[in-house]
Structure 1
Amino acid sequence: MKPLHSLGGTGKKSGPDIWGNPLYHQYLCVSDGKGGHICGGQDQRGEYKVDSLWGPGKASNDTKEGAERCDSVEDDNTCIETCLKQKFKEIRPRYSVLPDRFTIIKLGLFKNCQDWADVSLETCKMKCSNNNIGRFIRFILTGVM
């Protein structure tokens, strides 16, 4: 099963459907090996109003069935799927509604759902590529292996 980028709700962005509009939920799904899917994403804690802007992150509770739109993002690749399943189990970084690409200094300390899904997929693709030079350069530039 190919990894999927899934968009929650209607699968459309809230507001104008343009690049950079952060008002939609994005997450990843992979095959569970039993005919179903395992999904993972980034969410905010939700205990206080400010959490949705800037606060502790947590794993989102997502399903493939809950997505109106899923896009295949990678060919069948057991290594990437295994890596993503591990990412789904990890503790999430702090949450910010603004994408990291909109911040002046991209430290990667805060992630919205799109950032988390994109970085998780790219990290697993790099890890599974056996491109050790590329992994080293990426680590030097971003701190992410």
Structure 2
Amino acid sequence: MIKGASEIIDKVEVRRIFPAPLHRVFRAWTDPQDFILWWRPGEWRTTSVDMETHVGGAYRIIMERPDGAIQTISGTYVEFDAPVRLAMTWSVAGAEAGEPFEAFLLLDFVAVQGGTEIWLRHEKLPHDRLGNYEAGWTHILNSLSGMFERLKNDSK
């Protein structure tokens, strides 16, 4: 059993519409070259992304803060249904990681008028870290939206 597992009871859930086609939004989550452009939680900068984008494949995201602290997010894809669903395990190591835990991230992508809706569910999170994850996802999804807005403006 993972230490602290009895405290892992909560989730963050977000729905957001992005001004880009379904295949493009899905690619932003599954292509390391795209992903590194927008994955910026707070003051963290993404320095490396590895993705084996298939069921059973691993992913690893390495981030660095301005003070040199390093954090790694990693896991395994448990569902990979392009371009409509991603599901993966989620573990964090390094700076500010806290007690070890394994969470679950589920993303559904739906084509809607004017773009793509993402329905994100991040489950099995430690209750005392929910606020951090809510703020982090807000910042990350704002960054993703900003990337699509920049691409839209660049194409004009």
Asked if these proteins are the same fold (TM beyond 0.5), I'd say no
Greater strand content: 2
TM score, norm. by length of structure 2:
0.26
Q: TM-score if structure 1 supplies the norm length? A: 0.27
Q: Which has the higher contact order (CA 8 A, sep 6+)?
A: 2
